Amino acid sequence: EIEERLVEKTVHRLRSVDNLFVVVQEFKDYQFKENKEDTLKDLEDLVKKLSWTDPLKVWELNNSLKKKKTKRKKHGLQSPASREKLSDGGEERGADQSNDQEDCAQNPVAVEPADGQDTENPQAVTSRNGVEEEEDNEQSDVKVEVQASSESGTKASDGQTGEGEAKVLKFRVTCNRAGDKHSFTSNEAARDFGGAVQEHFQWKADMTNFDVEVLLNIHNNEVVVGIALTEESLHRRNITHFGPTTLRSTLAYGMLRLCDPQPTDIIVDPMCGTGAIPIEGAAEWPYCYHIAGDNSPQAVKRAANNICSLLRKNESKDSSSALGVPLDIIQWDICNLPLRTGSVDIVVTDMPFGKRIGSKKKNWDLYPACLMEMGRICTPGTGRAVLLTQDKKCFAKALSRVGHIWRRAQTVWVNVGGLHAAVYLLRRTWERAEERRSFW
């Protein structure tokens, strides 16, 4: 019971990772053979050499915690229809799936860092970098399921049917590969490695309805074999209504943490889209006051719906003590904000890349105007801004035009849906900003 509580309070509550898995074994400098057939044979032989016992115990603990949570939620206020939605109750469901391990020194639980904007491929090449950082690699990641059959299966403590009979565990192998010096494809590695896993455990391969997902992560000469502890990426936890450029909650958390919010800070997202940043902020920094806005009525509507979903989820957890969220949303002109000069502590926003929304040509006028208006509303000397953009050239030019009010303190490179983007931490100077007009 103590171990389970510890798991829930640690890895279970991580906010800046997309996926969790327990490491079976890690090879820092795996020596691949030049010949493809020999290399694939080595991967097959590797399966029998790995120590699977402790990682599978971690997987069993993870599953037992998931089942307990699921039973508790059945008594809540969620309807079956809402539970079926991909994103409804995402945070609660995602956190349940991130339950994991006892403290096993040789079997650490690894995390896959936030990748950026919402994409359809939740499996990214594992990076050992910081929470917000991720390498921009050329990837040939392909999710592959071994499609073979099996006569019998290996039972685990979780592999019991309702009648107490041992059931055959179903599995699939997912290969994530990055690097251009491999003689094999992701498909081939997953196929042959998966065949060896099936033969070793006598599990049954199933590409969709699986119990165990074995991960084979290959990054140049680094090879990590793991067992997945999450079925769905944790970045979907707070969003139910998605837009064309919805930011991952995991990346939103990293951006907010970068600006170090303090109690009573007023935090503004002037281009909030569907509200990923302010909703994450309100959930994780409830002692700050969050204001979100956008010039698109459709975006504001989606953000408002996401806030309503968050409120409903809070009520379903504990209706007796459910509170509102310290967050307001408004439709406004991004370059003419209805906020008092110097009244804001922090600005955090995902700026338009000029691809799906707007254009790079428009950004040349939009970026400097936005930076000027952000400088006006931010408190001189102590105000800060954390801004995400892939249009780095345009941003650098815009920043040089407003260098008297903003100083760049840090740049963190991120991979946003395959695009090489940057998160900029800016600090407000003591210079007085130009006032466009008075609202009070």
Cβ contact 77:319 at 8 Å: yes
pLDDT at 176 (0 to 100)? 87
Largest CA distance in the chain: 76
Q: Can you spell out the DSSP letters for 229-270?
A: --SS-GGGTT-SS--TTPBPHHHHHHHHHHT---TT-EEEET
Distance CA 272, CA 268 (A): 9
In this structure, how many other beta carbons lie within 10 angstroms of the beta carbon of residue 318?
A: 10
Question: Where do the domains of the chain lie?
Answer: 2-231, 238-428
Q: Identify the pLDDT of residue 106.
A: 44
CA-nearest of 439, 308, 295 to 377 is 439
- Positions in the chain whose pLDDT score sits under 70: 1-19, 65-166, 231-246, 314-323, 353-360, 417, 435-440
| Type of residue at 141 | D
pTM value is: 0.59
Alpha-carbon span 290 to 285, nearest angstrom: 9
Q: What is the DSSP string of 376-392?
A: HHBPTTT-EEEEEES-H
The correct CATH number of 238-428 out of 1.10.3720.10, 3.90.1150.10, 3.20.20.70, 3.40.50.150 is 3.40.50.150
Region 2-231: CATH code:
3.30.2130
- Look at residue 287 in the predicted model and tell me its pLDDT: 94
Secondary structure string (H, E, C) spanning 48-96? HHCCCHHHHHHHHHHHHHHHHHHHHHHCCCCCHHHHHCCCCCHHHHHHH
Structure tokens that stand for 154 in this block: 């290996």
In tens, the pLDDT along 289-309 reads 999 999 999 989 998 988 888
Selection from 264, 256, 251, 238 nearest residue 348 by Cα: 256
Residue 354 has a pLDDT of 52
- Amino acid in the structure at residue 131: V
pLDDT of residue 91: 32
